[in-house]
Structure 1
Amino acid sequence: MISLHTSPLEQPGAGDAGGMNVYISHLARALAADGLGIDIYTRATDPLQPDTVLLSPGVRVHHIEAGPRRRLVKEQMPPIADEFAEGLLRRMQDAPRPRVVHSHYWVSGLAGLRAAAEWEIPLVHTMHTMARVKNRHLAAGDLPEPTWRERGEQLIADGATWLTANTAAERDELVRHYDVDEDRIDIVNPGVDLDVFRPAFRSRSRVASGVPAATFHILFAGRLQRLKGPQVLVAAAGELRRRRPDIPLAVTIIGAPSGSLGLDLDALAHEEGLDGVVHRLPPVPAGVLAEWFRSADVVAMPSYSESFGLVALEAQACGTPVVAARVGGLPKAVCDGRTGFLVGGHHPVEWASVLEQLYDDPSTRVDLGRAASIYAQRFGWEQTAEGTRAAYRRAVRAHATAHPVTT
């Protein structure tokens, strides 16, 4: 596997680390548990990093020299994709040739094209996000993705042997925006760690998290960037507070700033009159995050674009309903009216109305949470690994058909 711009060893929710890190880490572990040997190649970002780290039995993470040994934002990655590919090929020159290259995100795909061609093996690619999709759903104040990213993604869409999409909606976007043959795409839903994210007593989680019992607790978890919409939640909470000052409201935002555009949530909370209501926390480990999910009455995902939305699945696995934007893969992750609610836009008034409705109907919150925990059981990482392995087999067959061995 190739994950150039972010490592599965990094803490999700900080910098450019997010759901993709969780995806790669857990997918690799599940594939290894199924008998595959998985090597993950990422960029070296620290002078003290070892060349190779054992992530779990059968899964190794290799650090490749490309650019300076320090953190770079993902916008700085395209110029060093070739250097990364060269380093990867050098590292592998005396190693057994892999059967498949699986690249994640477009800059990894550029390196994957080079490696797969050199080794004469198939490339499977997972986009995770796409420029042409993001540019159609920009948050206010966001800059569009550059045309050179669109061109790079088109090269990958044309050159990859096989692609996997998180949902049918993402498959359709690949077909519509990148002219990919539908027969070259497998739908493989992401999973959730059901051993960590599981229901438990909300009252105990509230004590552990320091949330008062009577509080209507709304939670956001993710990278703090406009695309993820935390500013929408803060504005909606302000509207709800003005409309219903009787509601004992608390909003917890877990994550760290990401991207080059500033997003001052503290200033926005102050403008909305939410001092003492909005609480910000840095990213936390999965077990602690699960405790926070269980402490919440509702988890909010006002994203402008999501290929799937792992946070929604993790929250629901903990028995907490989710209110999410009706974008990307979120209609697959959240069953509207059964495990939570989908909101058709990003207007704070509309979001405040949905949150108010949930506050006023605690029995519905309980019913949604129960259904959410049951629904999440469909999405174990074992199913994701099974679908991915099937995609690998189809890619190997397609590559063999396109490149017959001549004698």
Structure 2
Amino acid sequence: MALLDLPVASALADREVVRADGLRVAMLSVHTSPLAQPGTGDAGGMNVYVRGLARALAGLGAHVEIFTRATASAQPDVHEAGDGVLVRHVLAGPYEGLDKNELPGQLCAFTAGVLRTEASRRPGWYDVVHSHYWLSGQVGWLAADRWDVPLVHSMHTMAKVKNAALAPGDVPEPHGRVVGEEQVVEAADALVASTPDEAAELRDLYGADPSRVHVVAPGADLELFRPLPGPRGADDPALRDRLGLPQGPLVLFVGRVQPLKGPDTLVEAAAELRAQGRPVPWIVVCGGPSGRATAVRELAVLADRLGVGDRVLFRPPVPRTALGDWYRSADVVAMPSHSESFGLVAAEAEACGTPVVATAVGGLRTVVVDEVSGLLVDGHDPRAWAAALDRVLADDVLRARLGEGAAAVGARFGWETAARGMLDVYRDAAKVRRSRVA
């Protein structure tokens, strides 16, 4: 049974009462599991996105099955991740020891596992395939074709965009990924961009059909990430004590420690402030290494070499249920990324009422409203970053105003809103699919 033949089709025509009762979504996330702890290895914003969207779709009545690669023998074949959401661990290659760039060699095995699951059901079980990242898009291309259902694809990051903004010492994405992305763009019935900028990149860099490109902003869990009454940041010593954080001005970085995310820029900005005789805030890096196992140690060595090792603290990734307190404990959350398709950390921090200082790149230009919810910095000049951080930290009135603006901006990003927008995309993709095979 095709998507447009379902009872949900009539509801999809009216966004005010949209429901997804009975809709079955096969969601593909090959290289990283929505169950993994974000902030280290390959686990990051995409994990949060897939799980948050799946749960919100389920809340609207859909049944979502997320297919991801098994990475441990102890993982169950099927894990219930909430009402209406199943995570299926597909055996494809060894559990450990595979780098993300080696996974194309396991796509055949992964695809076989996905198709085998569908084959055990009645024909027409799934109504739509939604793939995340280009590796999943390759699998989704075949699955959607085999099942004759729409393929909806979310890029999350794009090789051509990343390669155009490489951080010093970073490695370019391989040509094989570029080709794979181009194939998925051509095959998809709908492409989901997180921001208008990403939509333009799909059209301009990949030749995507504009009629198939849709903008749906990701969400933040507004139950976990919200302002709380009482003091904030440096004015809440009890919270700092509970988290084991020092008192005084504090800048928080949350994410994977890798060149793409630019944590070295914060270290260099701290050194610039010290050289200028300005107060040096605490720089707290909450995350683990990605790409290079030595990434955290290398950042610590840089801090020592620049004379600010006494002000840079490293903490491992924390569970999402505790992350809101970390955002609220900070005076500023910093995102000095070289490339971001959206910037979930910024949205979550803002939802907690914490100002964000971010690079004016990609989705961060949409998530962070300059001079309203935070500040945008052009490039990665340590002097510019030092000036921006010092401006917010030294001005209590400005920081309070940006905090209020951050809470207002962050409240716009809810997962239910994202899920309702995605249902519209699924509906349009079904129309495209029918027109392409007619």
User: TM-score band (shorter)?
Assistant: over 0.9
Which position in structure 2 is the counterpart of 1:340?
Answer: 374
Which position in structure 2 is the counterpart of 1:257?
Answer: 289
Partner Cα separation in structure 1 for residue 321 and residue 280 of structure 2? 27
Opposite residue 288 of structure 2, the aligned amino acid is A
Instruction: Determine if contact 1:45/1:71 at 8 Å carries over to the other structure.
Output: no
Which position in structure 2 is the counterpart of 1:149?
Answer: 177
Instruction: Determine if contact 1:103/1:124 at 8 Å carries over to the other structure.
Output: yes
Which position in structure 2 is the counterpart of 1:4?
Answer: 30
Q: Does 1:57 align with 2:83?
A: yes
Partner Cα separation in structure 2 for residue 73 and residue 280 of structure 1? 25
Opposite residue 237 of structure 1, the aligned amino acid is A
Q: Does 1:46 align with 2:72?
A: yes
Q: Does 1:88 align with 2:114?
A: yes
Comparing 388-397 with 72-81, greater Cα deviation is found at 72-81
Which position in structure 1 is the counterpart of 2:9?
Answer: none
Instruction: Determine if contact 1:219/1:293 at 8 Å carries over to the other structure.
Output: yes
Question: Between the two proteins, what is the percent identity of the paired residues?
Answer: 48
Partner Cα separation in structure 2 for residue 365 and residue 254 of structure 1? 22
Could you say what secondary structure the match of 1:129 adopts? coil
Structure 1 residues 288 and 244: CA distance shift in structure 2, 3 A: farther
Partner Cα separation in structure 2 for residue 279 and residue 26 of structure 1? 30
Comparing 99-108 with 236-245, greater Cα deviation is found at 236-245
Could you say what secondary structure the match of 1:252 adopts? strand
Which position in structure 2 is the counterpart of 1:163?
Answer: 191
2:43 to 17, 20, 23: 17
> What is the RMSD computed on CA atoms of the aligned residues?
1.2
2:223 to 165, 182, 195: 195
Could you say what secondary structure the match of 1:280 adopts? strand
Instruction: Determine if contact 1:14/1:257 at 8 Å carries over to the other structure.
Output: yes
Q: Does 1:230 align with 2:263?
A: yes
Comparing 325-334 with 282-291, greater Cα deviation is found at 282-291
Partner Cα separation in structure 1 for residue 370 and residue 289 of structure 2? 29
Residue 292 of structure 1: how far off its partner (Å)? 1.1
Which position in structure 2 is the counterpart of 1:384?
Answer: 418
Structure 1 residues 6-405: aligned runs within 5 Å:
6-70=32-96, 72-96=98-122, 97-200=125-228, 201-202=231-232, 203=236, 204-213=238-247, 215-245=248-278, 247=279, 249-260=281-292, 262-263=294-295, 264-404=298-438
Instruction: Determine if contact 2:288/2:316 at 8 Å carries over to the other structure.
Output: yes
Instruction: Determine if contact 1:241/1:249 at 8 Å carries over to the other structure.
Output: no
Partner Cα separation in structure 1 for residue 267 and residue 83 of structure 2? 42
Residue 249 of structure 1: how far off its partner (Å)? 2.1
Instruction: Determine if contact 1:16/1:73 at 8 Å carries over to the other structure.
Output: no
Comparing 263-272 with 64-73, greater Cα deviation is found at 64-73
Structure 1 residues 131 and 157: CA distance shift in structure 2, 3 A: same
Deviations 1:183-236 (A, max 9, x none): 1011000111111111123214323223444x1100000001000001111111
Partner Cα separation in structure 1 for residue 87 and residue 111 of structure 2? 16
Partner Cα separation in structure 2 for residue 85 and residue 168 of structure 1? 31
Residue 163 of structure 1: how far off its partner (Å)? 0.7
Partner Cα separation in structure 2 for residue 319 and residue 282 of structure 1? 23
Residue 403 of structure 1: how far off its partner (Å)? 1.6
Partner Cα separation in structure 1 for residue 182 and residue 280 of structure 2? 50
Structure 1 residues 139 and 248: CA distance shift in structure 2, 3 A: closer
Instruction: Determine if contact 2:270/2:280 at 8 Å carries over to the other structure.
Output: no
How many residue pairs are counted as aligned between the two chains? 402
Residue 158 of structure 1: how far off its partner (Å)? 0.5
Instruction: Determine if contact 2:199/2:213 at 8 Å carries over to the other structure.
Output: yes
Partner Cα separation in structure 2 for residue 51 and residue 212 of structure 1? 43
Could you say what secondary structure the match of 1:279 adopts? strand
Could you say what secondary structure the match of 2:362 adopts? coil
Partner Cα separation in structure 2 for residue 234 and residue 260 of structure 1? 19
Could you say what secondary structure the match of 2:170 adopts? coil
Residue 248 of structure 1: how far off its partner (Å)? 5.5
Partner Cα separation in structure 2 for residue 26 and residue 99 of structure 1? 20
Opposite residue 19 of structure 1, the aligned amino acid is G
Opposite residue 88 of structure 1, the aligned amino acid is V
Instruction: Determine if contact 2:351/2:408 at 8 Å carries over to the other structure.
Output: yes
Residue 359 of structure 1: how far off its partner (Å)? 2.2
Structure 1 residues 207 and 370: CA distance shift in structure 2, 3 A: farther
TM-score, reference length from structure 1: 0.96
Comparing 266-275 with 47-56, greater Cα deviation is found at 266-275
Partner Cα separation in structure 2 for residue 365 and residue 387 of structure 1? 33
